[in-house]
C-alpha cells in the first residue's frame, strides 16, 4: 500500500509513568502514509495515554518517538501540529451553534483588508469549507448552516476535513465512532478510508473490533498498558482480536458466569430450588 518505507509516525519501546502508575510499558507501533493503523483496547488499556503522547499532550517517560524517521520530543500539541500530526477528539470537535465554515476556521480565520478594516473573509471561508467537504464526498448545500444541523458522523468529518486542510499528514482519531449509531459510524469509516486514499497516515482509536476490521490495514492491540504487537489483517481474525482485547481469561470467566445464571433460571423453572434459594433468587432477579 505504501511506497515509502519510513513510517510517518513511529514509537519504539515507549513507557509512560504517572507517579507509581504504569500507564504504558514498552509499547512500539508505527504508521505509514496511506495506511490506517487501528489502536485497539478496552477501557484503561492505555489508548488515551498513547495518543496523548503521540499528539504532544504528554511526554513519554522512556523510549523514542520518530516523525518521518527523525527523533522528536514534543512539548505541546502545537509542536505536534507543526509536524503535521493532528488529533481529532471525539467530544471536543465542533461547536454546534456555530456555522460549518465558522467552525472550520475557528482560531485560523482567513482575513482580508488591513488595519481597522481587517475582517473575516466569510466568502472565502464558505467556499473552502464547501470544497474541502466535497473532497470527502459530502455535499453541504449551505456552509453557513449551524453544525448542530449535521449528523454526528458528518460533524466528525468536518473536523477531519479541517485537520487535513490545515496541513495534517498524520491524523489521530480518538474514538470517532464511539457515540454514533451504526449508519453514522459507517459514514465516518468511509471518510477514514477516503483520508487513507488521499495519502494520509491514520491512527484510528476504537474499542469496537468491527469498526477496526472494516477499515484497518494493521492493528495494534493494547491491554493494561502493554501491547500484544501489531498484526496485519491476514494474521488476525476478528474473533482473535476480540479475545486479545478483553483477555481470554476474563472472557472465559464471563462465559462461566453467564452459564451459572442460566443454570439457576432453569432450576427455578423446574421448581428445584429450596425456599431460601427461591427468595434469594427473587430478590436478585
Residue numbers at the binding site for other proteins (CB under 8 A) = 77-78, 89, 92-98, 102, 105-109, 111, 118-120, 122-123, 126-127, 130-131, 141-146, 148-150
Kindly tell me which of 150 and 221 has the beta carbon lying closer to other proteins: 150
Strands 9-18 and 21-31: antiparallel
90 burial via Cβ count (<10 Å: 0-12, 13-18, 19+): middle
Q: How far is the CB of 51 from other proteins (least distance, A)?
A: 14
149 SS3 class: helix
Kindly tell me which of 128 and 188 has the beta carbon lying closer to other proteins: 128
Which of 100, 105, 189, 195 has its CA nearest to residue 149? 100
63 SS3 class: strand
Q: To which H or E segment does residue 102 belong?
A: helix 100-105
Kindly tell me which of 53 and 55 has the beta carbon lying closer to other proteins: 55
Q: How far is the CB of 89 from other proteins (least distance, A)?
A: 7
Torsions phi, psi for 106 (to 5 deg) = -55, 125
Kindly tell me which of 162 and 211 has the beta carbon lying closer to other proteins: 162
Q: How far is the CB of 241 from other proteins (least distance, A)?
A: 31
Q: How far is the CB of 64 from other proteins (least distance, A)?
A: 27
The β-bridge partners of 223 are 226
Q: How far is the CB of 116 from other proteins (least distance, A)?
A: 10
Kindly tell me which of 122 and 273 has the beta carbon lying closer to other proteins: 122
Backbone dihedral region for residue 84 (phi beyond 0: left; psi -120 to 50: alpha; all else: beta): left
Amino acid at each position: 500500500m505504501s511506497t515509502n518505507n519510513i513510517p510517518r509516525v513511529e514509537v519504539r519501546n515507549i513507557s509512560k509513568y504517572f507517579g507509581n502508575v504504569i500507564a504504558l510499558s514498552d509499547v512500539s507501533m508505527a504508521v505509514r502514509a496511506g495506511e490506517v493503523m487501528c489502536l485497539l483496547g478496552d477501557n484503561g488499556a492505555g489508548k488515551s495515554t498513547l495518543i496523548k503522547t503521540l499528539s504532544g499532550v504528554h511526554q513519554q517517560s522512556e523510549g523514542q518517538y520518530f516523525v518521518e524517521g527523525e527523533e522528536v520530543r514534543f512539548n505541546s500539541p502545537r509542536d505536534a501540529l507543526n509536524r503535521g500530526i493532528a488529533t481529532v477528539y471525539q467530544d471536543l470537535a465542533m461547536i454546534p451553534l456555530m456555522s460549518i465554515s465558522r467552525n472550520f476556521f475557528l482560531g485560523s480565520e482567513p482575513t482580508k483588508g488591513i488595519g481597522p478594516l481587517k475582517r473575516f473573509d466569510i466568502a472565502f471561508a464558505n467556499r473552502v469549507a464547501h470544497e474541502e467537504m466535497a473532497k470527502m464526498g459530502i455535499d453541504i448545500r449551505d456552509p453557513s448552516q449551524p453544525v448542530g444541523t449535521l449528523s454526528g458522523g458528518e460533524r466528525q468529518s468536518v473536523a477531519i476535513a479541517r485537520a487535513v486542510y490545515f496541513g495534517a499528514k498524520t491524523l489521530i482519531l480518538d474514538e470517532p465512532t464511539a457515540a454514533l449509531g451504526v449508519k453514522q459510524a459507517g459514514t465516518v469509516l468511509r471518510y477514514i478510508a477516503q483520508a487513507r486514499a488521499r495519502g494520509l497516515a491514520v491512527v484510528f482509536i476504537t474499542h469496537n473490533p468491527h469498526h477496526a476490521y472494516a477499515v484497518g490495514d494493521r492493528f495494534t492491540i493494547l491491554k493494561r498498558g502493554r501491547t500484544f504487537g501489531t498484526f496485519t489483517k491476514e494474521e488476525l481474525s476478528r474473533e482473535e482480536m476480540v479475545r486479545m482485547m478483553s483477555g481470554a481469561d476474563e472472557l472465559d470467566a464471563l462465559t462461566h458466569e453467564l452459564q451459572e445464571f442460566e443454570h439457576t433460571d432453569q432450576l427455578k423453572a423446574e421448581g428445584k430450588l429450596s425456599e431460601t434459594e427461591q427468595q434469594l433468587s427473587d430478590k436478585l432477579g
